[in-house]
Amino acid sequence: MKRIVKILFVAVAMIAYSVSANAQGSATTSGNAAARIIAPITLTAVNTLHFGTMFNNVGGTVTVPPTGARTSVGVNLSALAPTYSAGSFTVGGEAGFSYAITLPADGTVTISNGAVTMAINGFNHDAGATPAVPQTFNVGAVLTVAAGQASGLYTGTYSVTVAYN
């Protein structure tokens, strides 16, 4: 009987040791990591925003919309070359990604013939509320012509910025 008790005692001790040896005070697993690289957004000017040729005597405005025909108030428009055109830009980058367009604020853009300037305001585009890459969009604006504006070719630049949302 003593021997059975000893065997049982040894068996219980071995089971207890085995359980305690396999019991863990910590746990380890693997987590996932990922990254996505997208193509940089690009912007390319395609067409010049051109208000066309006009005759002036009283001053006024010439509007070139992003799409459609130009209009004027107080300025006589001419069909002589160069004709008018909306500015156009092509956006490239990661297909399907949406982006925002920033156009110049009023009072920040002028064109000049070297000595005399004219203001361009009311910049707008036809890309819609949530444009997505790839896309070409048009830009229009309003040119203010002074009474008796000096003749000549007026040129200048304006900035357009696109950024992923």
pLDDT digits (tens, 9 = 90+) for 126-149: 999 999 999 999 999 999 999 999
Yes or no: say if 133 and 95 are a contact pair by the CB < 8 Å rule. Answer: yes
Block residue for tokens 């367009």: 101
Residues in the chain: 165
Cα–Cα distance, 41 to 154 (Å, whole number): 31
Structure confidence by residue, pLDDT tens digits, 105-121: 999 999 999 999 999 99
The pTM is what?
A: 0.81
Q: Is the dihedral of CA 100, 64, 43, 111 positive or negative?
A: negative
Q: How much is the pLDDT for 13?
A: 56
User: What average pLDDT score do residues 13-22 get?
Assistant: 55
pLDDT at 3: 60
Q: Are strands 117-125 and 109-112 parallel, antiparallel or unpaired?
A: antiparallel
> Residue 147: which residues within 8 A CB-CB, separation 6 or more?
56, 57, 58, 59
109: nearest Cα among 122, 126, 127, 98:
122
User: What tokens appear for 65 in the block?
Assistant: 């919309």
Q: What is the dihedral of CA 104, 105, 106, 109, to 10 degrees?
A: -40
Reported as a single tens digit per residue, the pLDDT across 63-109 is 999 999 999 999 999 989 889 999 999 999 999 999 999 999 999 99
Q: Flag whether pLDDT at 2 surpasses 70.
A: no
